[in-house]
Amino acid sequence: MDIETNSNYVTYLEIKSQYLAWQEAISIAQKHDQSLQSFFSIPFDQVIFTGCGSTYYLSLAAASIFQQLTGISSIGVPASELIFYPTSIYKPGTRNLLITVSRSAETTETIEALKEFTKYDKGKSITISNYADKPLSSMGNLNFVIPEGQEMSIAQTRAFTSMYVFCVAMATIVGRKEILTKSLWELPQACRNLFESYEALAQKIGGDLSIDRFYLLGSGPRYGLACEGNLKIKEMTLTHSEPFHFYEFRHGPMSMVTPTTLIPAFISKNNWRFEERVIIEMKRLGAQVLTFGQGEADVKIPVSIPEEIVNVLYLPIIQLISFYRALSKKLNPDQPTNLQKVIKIERNDLGAN
């Protein structure tokens, strides 16, 4: 299938143009560096990132890197858990910051979670979204919108990475990591280079229907991104897919490995020696492995970019593999089965007032 045919699908166009949304996300974060530093001048005891579906996985990844770069205790949780089990998340007598992430700024659970947070005076809030004219985008103490991340497709690609890049940029600013903040500008061109170098590989793997299951491995800040890559495979291709931390995969899940298994492995620059041991073991069990990393890897991520900010580059080729696999299975990647772009439910279903 040629590029002209691919361009009939908005999902493809959004995947390939996401570097533009990254540029905007970095620019917006740096434009507000003073307001962000001022906002965090009074310390928070806990930062809670929240969202639903893709943005819950984004929250896991963002919380990990935010704590790493700022030293502030950070967690990622689904918005529904904040509604149904708030006492298991909010610590009594602490100063909380709730960071809500939503592509549409209309997701019911996320809106209601923020309403409850505000109603019971749990702390301050920041919202991150792609649409300025929707409810959530004006509900926080600080509100950030990345319009270039807007999408027509149902499965998030450009929106997810734009908001994730913003979260990483925000962490570098709050953590006063000036060198990392400047290095963020290397990401957009690196994304374009990945497409030039590896789109053919993505098409080849996506077209291999002998592969019947995917297990994505990623640890630390890459675990949430492995979760998101897994979701793209599920949504677009209706293929069995699961994410795991590298060493957790040995504790039971590896019993599912067969010669028709593909393991995309998001390798760390600092911990690759340990993660490589798992990869070698899975190959011995017969699995096929696709490695991503800043060293020797099937998909080489630029080693010049600091590891703390490079993680978003692990996603674009997984997104393309999902796109091409959907086409190979005669599925429409723009219209995943049983899904809709925004999940809205009745407030009564959440027990919200």
Distances (CA, A) of 224 to 93, 141, 219: 29, 26, 8
Which of 169, 174, 190 shows the shortest CA–CA distance to 309? 169
**What pLDDT does 337 receive?**
79
Distance CA 231, CA 243 (A): 9
Question: In this structure, are strands 213-218 and 261-266 parallel, antiparallel, or unpaired?
Answer: parallel
Chain centroid to Cα 95, Å, comes to 26
Characterize the bridge pairing of strands 46-51 and 96-102.
parallel
Say whether pLDDT at 342 is over 70: no
The pLDDT value given to residue 325? 98
CA gyration radius, the chain = 20
Does residue 14 form part of some domain? yes
Write down the pLDDT at residue 21.
98
Residue 335 lies in a domain: no
Partners of residue 280 on adjacent β-strands: none
Q: Give the tens place of pLDDT for each residue, 231-254.
A: 999 999 999 999 999 999 999 999
Residues 285 and 172 in one domain: no
Q: Which of 5, 105, 93, 124 lies closest to 55 in space, CA to CA?
A: 105
pLDDT in tens, 205-231: 999 999 999 999 999 999 999 999 999
Is the pLDDT reported for residue 341 higher than 70? no
pLDDT of 140 above 70: yes
Are 162 and 135 in the same domain?
A: yes
pLDDT band at 353 (very low <50, low <70, confident <90, very high): very low
Are 200 and 207 in contact by the 8 Å Cβ rule? The answer is no
Residue 151 pLDDT > 80? yes
pLDDT tens-digit readout, 287-325: 999 999 998 999 999 999 999 999 999 999 999 999 999
Query: Any idea what DSSP says for residue 342?
Result: S
Inter-residue contact 29 to 170 (CB < 8 Å): yes
Number of domains in the chain: 2
Q: Are residues 317 and 177 in the same domain?
A: no
| Residues 309, 231 share a domain | yes
* 188 close to 305: Cβ distance less than 8 angstroms: no
262 within 8 A of 205, measured Cβ to Cβ: yes
Please indicate, yes or no, if residue 160 is contained in any of the structural domains.
yes
Element (H, E) at 241: strand 240-244
Q: Is the pLDDT of residue 55 over 70?
A: yes
The secondary structure of residue 92, as a DSSP letter, is: T
- The answer as to whether 333 is a domain residue is no
Domain that holds residue 193: 186-328
Edge-to-edge order in the sheet of strand 261-266: 240-244, 213-218, 261-266, 288-293, 299-300
Q: Give the separation between CA 115 and CA 100, rounded to whole angstroms.
A: 11
pLDDT of residue 336: 84
How large is the average pLDDT for residues 89-99?
93
Average pLDDT over residues 55-70: 98
What is the C-alpha to C-alpha distance for residues 106 and 264, in angstroms, rounded to an integer?
32
Please identify which residue in the block is written with the tokens 């760390």: 268
Q: Are residues 256 and 304 in the same domain?
A: yes
Q: Tell which wins on pLDDT, 31 or 4.
A: 31
Q: What's 301's DSSP letter?
A: P
pTM of the predicted protein model: 0.95
pLDDT-derived band at 49, boundaries 50, 70, 90: very high
What pLDDT score does 344 carry? 63
84 with 173, same domain: the answer is yes
Mean pLDDT of 61-76: 98
Q: With respect to residue 156, please indicate whether it lies within any of the assigned structural domains.
A: yes
Domain harbouring 215, CATH code: 3.40.50.10490
The verdict on 171 and 310 lying in the same domain is no
pLDDT at position 54: 98
Residues 173 and 223 in one domain: no
